[in-house]
C-alpha cells in the first residue's frame, strides 16, 4: 500500500469512526446477500446482524491493506468480497442479485448519483431493501442557503463531497419508495450535521 493511500485510509477511518454510534440502527435490517456501496474502511462490517450471509463492498478507492480494515474483515462471521469499482458505472452483477443495498455517508460523494441509484435499484431483488444514512441538505432554509454558498469550495477541498444534496428527494427520484425516514441533527459542524436515515424499497 503506497504512503498516500495509507494516510488517506487512516484519516478516513478515524473520521468515520466518529459516526459509529449511528451505524447499528441503519444496519439492523440488513439480511441475506448485501451490497455496500462506498465500503471505505469497512467500519460497518462489525454492525451487520446475524442474518447477513455475504457482503460485497464496493469502492473506487479501496483501503485494502489497512490493518483495521483487514481485522474487521477477518473477524466477520460472513464472507466479505471487495470490488474496486465506482457505483455510477455499469455494475457487474445480475439484476436482483442482492437482498439488501447499503450506503452510509456515500451518496454525497458519488458524482453521478442518478446513475448509481439506477444501478443499485437494478441489482436489488424485488422486495429487497435499500438502507442508508447520509448527511445532506438542512431543513432550515437559512442553513441550506449557507450550504449552497459553501458547497463549491467544500467539494473542491474534499475531492467531491457535497453538503447540500436533498437525500430524500434524490432517493425517491432514483425510483425508490421511502418506508421510513428520520431526519435529525447530529453532533459536529452545523453544515455537515443534517442526517437522513432511511429504509427504502424499489418501486
Task: Using the minimum distance from each CB to ligand SAM, give the nearer residue, 59 or 99.
Answer: 59
Task: Using the minimum distance from each CB to ligand SAM, give the nearer residue, 142 or 175.
Answer: 175
Task: Using the minimum distance from each CB to ligand SAM, give the nearer residue, 127 or 189.
Answer: 189
**Residue ranges that bind ligand SAM, judged by CB under 6 A:** 16, 37-38, 40, 43-44, 58-61, 86-88, 104-106, 109-111
Place of cell 462471521: 77
Closest CA to 130 of 41, 24, 201, 70: 201
Q: Which residue is nearest to ligand SAM (CB)?
A: 40
Task: Using the minimum distance from each CB to ligand SAM, give the nearer residue, 41 or 168.
Answer: 41
Distance of closest approach, residue 10 Cβ to ligand SAM, in angstroms: 13
User: What is the SS3 assignment for 55?
Assistant: strand
Strand partners, 81: 56
Please compute, for residue 150, the number of CA atoms within 13 A of its CA located in the half-sphere on the CB side: 18
| Dihedral over Cα of 139, 143, 149, 153: its sign | negative
Distance of closest approach, residue 58 Cβ to ligand SAM, in angstroms: 6
Amino acid at each position: 500500500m503506497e504512503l498516500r493511500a495509507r494516510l488517506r485510509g487512516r484519516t478516513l477511518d478515524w473520521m468515520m469512526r466518529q459516526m459509529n454510534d449511528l451505524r447499528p440502527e441503519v444496519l439492523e435490517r440488513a439480511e441475506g446477500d448485501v451490497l455496500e456501496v462506498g465500503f471505505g474502511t469497512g467500519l460497518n462490517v462489525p454492525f451487520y446482524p446475524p442474518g447477513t450471509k455475504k457482503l460485497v463492498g464496493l469502492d473506487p478507492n479501496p483501503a485494502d491493506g489497512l490493518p483495521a480494515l483487514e481485522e474487521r474483515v477477518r473477524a466477520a462471521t460472513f464472507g466479505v468480497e471487495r470490488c474496486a469499482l465506482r457505483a455510477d458505472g455499469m455494475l457487474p452483477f445480475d439484476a436482483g442479485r442482492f437482498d439488501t443495498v447499503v450506503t452510509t455517508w456515500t451518496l454525497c460523494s458519488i458524482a453521478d448519483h442518478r446513475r448509481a441509484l439506477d444501478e443499485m435499484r437494478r441489482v436489488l431483488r424485488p422486495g429487497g431493501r435499500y438502507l442508508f444514512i447520509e448527511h445532506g441538505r438542512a431543513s432550515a432554509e437559512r442553513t441550506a442557503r449557507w450550504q449552497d454558498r459553501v458547497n463549491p469550495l467544500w467539494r473542491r477541498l474534499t475531492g467531491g463531497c457535497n453538503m447540500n444534496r436533498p437525500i430524500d428527494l434524490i432517493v425517491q427520484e432514483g425510483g425508490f419508495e421511502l418506508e421510513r425516514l428520520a431526519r435529525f441533527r447530529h453532533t459536529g459542524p452545523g453544515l455537515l450535521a443534517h442526517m437522513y436515515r432511511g429504509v427504502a424499497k424499489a418501486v
